[in-house]
Amino acid sequence: MLHVAMYRPVIPQNTGAVARQCVGMNAHLHLIGPMGFEITDHAVKRAGLDYWPYLHLTEYADEAAFYDWLGERRVWLITKFGGTRFDRADYEDEDVLMVGNENHGLPESIHERHSGTRVSIPMPGTSLGNVRSYNVSNAAAIVMAMAMVRIADSDS
């Protein structure tokens, strides 16, 4: 099973959208706190619609609790700060895709810890000054879809 981790999310609609993607792709969602909202917020569940009961979800009070669970699993950071292009990574079953906080991204300590497993999505609009980054839920969906294809291809 693929895993998706959201680091300290603050926008409930983004979390709901990622949750819905996780249900559709049979992935496990990991929410690393503290979060900027309660998981019971109407906006989160509204974005996840009636899929919420089918979500594989684990919440962590903080980063340390998440890393206690992680063990030997590999983490791919979804970031605009370089790394392997998302469609060229060698994803495997049980990998974790991690997105950062909507306002601040991921801390430098996490970037350092996973410096060899960062993926980025091409963003030609940045050179024109039109966009700073992709929405975290959209970025997660793009990379999740590619990871699922890569994992399925390696299984066949």
Domain ranges of the chain: 3-155
Evaluate if residue 125 carries a pLDDT over 90: no
Residue of 105, 135, 116, 152 lying closest to 2 (CA atoms): 152
For the entire predicted model, the pTM comes to 0.92
Structural fold of domain 3-155: Alpha/beta knot (3.40.1280)
Residue of 24, 154, 13, 122 lying closest to 4 (CA atoms): 24
Q: Which residues are annotated as a binding site for S-adenosyl-L-methionine?
A: 78, 100, 121, 133
Evaluate if residue 68 carries a pLDDT over 90: yes
- Does residue 91 contact residue 76 with C-beta atoms inside 8 Å? yes
Q: Which residues are annotated as a binding site?
A: 78, 100, 121, 133
- Over residues 23-57, the pLDDT tens digits come to 999 999 999 999 998 887 566 666 656 788 899 99
